[in-house]
A and B are shown apart, each in its own frame.
Chain A
């Protein structure tokens, strides 16, 4: 077992255990911290695949921005374990059924798929130069459409934010 495998298994165990920590911990702040650790483990996997750009963007966007906002909301609303609302039985049953269905679908999909062995030869596909060229030539239309989608979401957020202030004034 070389260094590569050791790092791979370490990151895998870290990602899975931290992901379990997200759903099992009672305190929402701890959940967010576990999620950040999960992102770090996944970024580590990206680096192993020589996709440095994806790794760092994963950290900047998810760990650095989105999770800060999550933490922000949790801290502002002061959500704690004791203020957690009691969930009723119907919601619990519905959750169990939908989760079980998802598990079934994943199992069915996995049953027919074949697991390819880990290719350890380094590729350059994840480097920013190749990624940029692919995005702006082969996938330029989906790329631009998704940016329009983001723009509309942004404008929507601004519109929702504005309405309330106008009413108050």
Chain B
């Protein structure tokens, strides 16, 4: 096994760009969330720091950094610190398997815009998502606060319940694609119209998409499923005892998760970096420019989905906990199973 220095440097560069990019987008997602809320509630939103409040995320970050760091006396110190660290780690790990753009073919070789093209890409995402619950659980338990504990247990049971429906909804889609690699799934959705039908998976699996989207809301702890942060019942949530940047990491991790999962949804169901008439565009511009256009396409799709998440948050009221569980176990899982059976029948008898 030989180490290829150029390869490692290329990957490190790519990882840094993706990390910084997701951090930046997550930062401005907090700003966008406030602006969207303001628009929907007929307010102005943040408008003091910079033009249209564009420096507001920086000011918030600075404020969080300079706050006093308090570790409760009766907390389990190591786990208390591990909690936000794990939340942040699992939030950024998913970005490794997302194909951000097509390969750039130059004279010196092929540059891939994906950190790792593993043949089990979707399962990797599932693995990381299922680990994401540890950050919340450990933080809530280590705080030694009853409300934090209740909240973290809520978060864990919600995440586990919705992971099932999420997996089942994807199984139907995977039966269509026949591959677990995200790169192959994206390449199958090339263009927009293949002569007979749409290539994007959204048009092949509409029901699967809606189940997946609902589960994504629950996995992200976003309204209407933000029960772990239900202030009226739990004071604040699992991060009640946290202060300063450790609280910041928890809140920030949620926005990174929001961005990455929007990217994953765009990749799985809306063709990733593909766009209509891409072959004509590819023929007329240089490969590098084409790759940039593709990346921007993916980012545009992801931002549209983020905005959709935000509109929903400020439109729908919060569910009750038993309603949440009933929806997950009694509606979504049977629905996903039915979707799976129908997909199987269609593949067997219609498509062949």
- A residues with a Cβ closer than 8 A to B are 2-4, 29, 33, 36, 52-53, 56-57, 59-60, 63-65, 68-69, 71-72, 75-76, 127-128
Contact = CB atoms under 8 A, between A and B. Distances in A.
Given A29-B141, A59-B130, 4 more contacts: A60-B123, A68-B130, A75-B137, A128-B120
Contact of B123 (A2, A3, A53): A53
B131 A64 contact: yes
B153 A56 contact: no
A75 B149 contact: yes
Contacts of B119: 52, 127-128
Nearest to B78: A30
Classify chain B's interface size. 20 to 34
A64 B156 contact: no
Nearest to B129: A64
Interface in B142-157: 149, 152-153, 156-157
Given A3-B1, A75-B149, A60 B137 contact: no
B79 A29 contact: yes
Contact of A59 (B127, B138, B141, B180): B127
Contact of A3 (B3, B149, B163, B180): B3
A75 B141 contact: yes
A4 B1 contact: yes
Contacts of B157: 72
Nearest to B3: A3
Contact of B153 (A4, A59, A75): A75
Contacts of B149: 75
B85 to A, nearest CB: 13
Given A71-B137, A75-B137, A65 B3 contact: no
B153 A76 contact: yes
A106 to B, nearest CB: 31
Contacts of A65: 130, 160, 163
A2 B2 CA distance: 9
B134 A68 contact: yes
B134 to A, nearest CB: 7
30 contacts: A2-B1, A3-B1, A29-B79, A33-B79, A33-B138, A52-B118, A53-B120, A53-B123, A56-B123, A56-B124, A56-B126, A56-B127, A59-B127, A59-B130, A60-B123, A60-B126, A63-B127, A63-B131, A64-B129, A65-B163, A68-B130, A68-B156, A68-B160, A71-B141, A72-B137, A75-B137, A75-B141, A75-B152, A127-B119, A128-B119
B332 interface: no
Of A2, A33, A56, A128, most B-chain CB atoms within 10 Å: A56
